[in-house]
Structure 1
Amino acid sequence: MTTLLTFPGQGAQRPGMLHALPAHPEVTRTLEEACDGLGQGLSELDSADALRSTQAVQLSLLIAGVASARLLADAGCEPDMVLGLSIGAYPAAVAAGSLTFADALQLVRLRGALMQQAYPSGYGMSAVIGLSLAQVERLVAGQFREEEPVYVANINSAEQIVVAGHENGLARLAEAAVRDFHARKVHRIAISVPSHCMLLSGAASQMRVAFDRVTVSPPRCTYVSASSARALFQADAIRDDLAFNMARQVHWHDAATHARERGARLAIEALPGATLTSLCRPVFADGGEAVSLCQAPLATVLALHSRL
């Protein structure tokens, strides 16, 4: 049996998420390391006010992801594969042993700051539900303006496509999606930057420079990239994936399918997410399971791991 540990991206955050993590020695250790390494208290990261900052959101998701992985490992549930969406790739890399937690904290602090500085306001992301990729691509082409650009960002499933760009372009696209293409729903995601498109190419290049100052190691388990939807085994490939993923499209459905084809049978989503679990369930429907740590008791998750 092969276990895939998935790590959510921005949009999964909620106020108090770090304070709500399970009471466990590995969680406590993770929180203490984070506070010491960042020189910040938990309330400076996961309060409602703090989570208005892209940097605080990304740090909180990193910390929660690493705490989840350590909690599971302590209970004997080590992942055979890891897969993270956007910022989720960083705790995935830590869980795989490719990146130290201390280095990840500093890199993610920089990542969030670069993204926030590049687009402090007026940009974001919207999820389009009920349309195909081809239909969303037509919408994007019709609503694109040089001064108010929009781009296809995340291909999460056959009928869930995320678009990034200027808020005016997103508003026009949402209206056209429902009016002209009869989308079931279009909603803004709790992300204030235009991730996973060329708008963040400059910030990604700066991240790549920062990676020259840290050690990235070959993974202990299979690291699956949500950008390329392929397993990566070389340190340099993982370094490139982490540095540039903010500016590259997410191919979540293809990445989860690749993990399934490589033998994954149980997909466990790290705290505090549940969306990736809903996206993984159709992929794992035939003889597999997808479960979220925030929806199922730890004992249930461990029983599934033991049984499958």
Structure 2
Amino acid sequence: MKQVAFMFPGQGSQTVGMGRELYEASPKIQKLFDDADQILQKNLTKIMFEGPKEELTETENAQPALLLTSIALHTMLLDMEVQPVMTVGHSLGEYSALVAAGAISLEEALPLVAKRGKLMEQAFPKGQGTMAAVLGLDSETIQAGLSEINEEVVDLANLNCPGQIVISGSVKGIEMAKEILKAKGAKRVLPLNVSGPFHSRLMKSANEAFSEYLNKVTINDAAIPIYANVSASPVRENAEIKELLIKQLYSPVRFEESIRNMMEKEVDAFVEVGNGKVLSGLVKKVNRNTTTFAVQDTASLNDFISWFKGD
């Protein structure tokens, strides 16, 4: 039997219409979505299927929407007898990875990520924090550039793949960083369409309230290893999972390092489970010879199953 790693996308991968085809194809998935609306006490399904885009993009809607879509696809994969040997998620996607690994139930994960989204939105004044993707520089060079900025906060946020690193901080700080990093040879510094300075020190104010909420959630030991964003290492023990989730709010996402560590385990393919193809593209930039799949609808699901079962 082939061995596969599942990857789960994070915020930014949401699109209006996400999950609709899955909902219409399966009564089991329909129930999953209907139950999610009950749990969250809002019509998230309608926001996902019809928008408007601005409402879906709000962090407290985007996060549960992405989690729900990923777990709907994961459920369909399990029904087709596909079990991953390890999981990883990008930022928010770590919660999908935890549900897939049996560490948190979907019923508890949905309100947890909605709460996380709300706290992240409130952690820093709206419009005063942002993020930007830096293309063409390594993390050491970027860090050296950021250390020249004293009066504003700017941190490494997402270490995605060779030549693509995201920085996060105050709007003024990002503007200053842009000039410094271009002078150091960055090909481009692209502003991201996000509502706050996620994975930076500016998120620390969300910590206390999030920790309090997280303490009410049942976290189990994971059935399979989850490669944590904060450490880029496999974790299974529930106390460590909880500790890393709190740190994840204000620490960099070490995605490239996680993927390199997972590649050492010699899996047959990396499968992105959820909306979009962002993570599959990042994996190819880490090692272009890696087999990847992006399972996001019934057509891509069937393509993957055909490969997995050797048809």
Q: Give the TM-score normalised by structure 2.
A: 0.90
Instruction: Give the whole-Å Cα distance in 2 for the aligned partners of 1:242 and 1:29.
Output: 28
Q: Cα offset for 1:263? A: 3.0
**Is 2:14–2:57's contact at 8 Å kept on the other side of the alignment?**
no
**Is 1:13–1:272's contact at 8 Å kept on the other side of the alignment?**
yes
Paired position in structure 1 for 2:144: 138
**Is 1:207–1:244's contact at 8 Å kept on the other side of the alignment?**
no
Distance verdict in 2 for CA 1:12–1:25, change over 3 Å: same
Q: Which runs of 5+ in 2 are unaligned?
A: none
Counting only pairs closer than 5 Å after superposition, residues 182-201 of structure 1 correspond to structure 2 as: 182-201=185-204
Q: Which runs of 5+ in 1 are unaligned?
A: none
- The match for 1:225 among 228, 249, 252 is 228
Paired position in structure 2 for 1:161: 165
Paired position in structure 1 for 2:31: 29
Distance verdict in 2 for CA 1:21–1:189, change over 3 Å: farther
Any idea what the Cα deviations from partners look like across 1:15-46, whole Å, max 9, x if unmatched?
23243546333432321121111111123455
**Is 1:284–1:290's contact at 8 Å kept on the other side of the alignment?**
no
Instruction: Give the whole-Å Cα distance in 1 for the aligned partners of 2:221 and 2:249.
Output: 21
Pairs aligned (count): 304
Distance verdict in 2 for CA 1:235–1:48, change over 3 Å: same
Counting only pairs closer than 5 Å after superposition, residues 23-172 of structure 1 correspond to structure 2 as: 23-41=25-43, 42-44=45-47, 46-119=51-124, 120-142=126-148, 144-146=149-151, 148-172=152-176
Paired position in structure 2 for 1:244: 247
Q: Cα offset for 1:291? A: 1.5
Paired position in structure 1 for 2:309: 306
Q: Cα offset for 1:196? A: 1.3
Letter in 2 for 1:172: M
- Between stretches 71-80 and 181-190, larger displacement belongs to 181-190
Distance verdict in 2 for CA 1:241–1:307, change over 3 Å: farther
Q: Cα offset for 1:265? A: 2.3
- 3-state secondary structure, aligned to 1:86: coil
Q: Cα offset for 1:285? A: 4.1
- The answer as to 2:15 corresponding to 1:11 is no
- 3-state secondary structure, aligned to 2:15: coil
Any idea what the Cα deviations from partners look like across 1:286-307, whole Å, max 9, x if unmatched?
4x41121248721211123234
**Is 2:153–2:201's contact at 8 Å kept on the other side of the alignment?**
no
- Between stretches 267-276 and 94-103, larger displacement belongs to 267-276
Instruction: Give the whole-Å Cα distance in 1 for the aligned partners of 2:275 and 2:47.
Output: 18
Q: Cα offset for 1:112? A: 0.7
- The match for 2:270 among 259, 267, 271 is 267
Distance verdict in 2 for CA 1:244–1:272, change over 3 Å: same
Instruction: Give the whole-Å Cα distance in 1 for the aligned partners of 2:172 and 2:29.
Output: 41
Any idea what the Cα deviations from partners look like across 1:71-101, whole Å, max 9, x if unmatched?
2111221211110011111111111111011
- 3-state secondary structure, aligned to 2:226: strand
- 3-state secondary structure, aligned to 1:99: coil
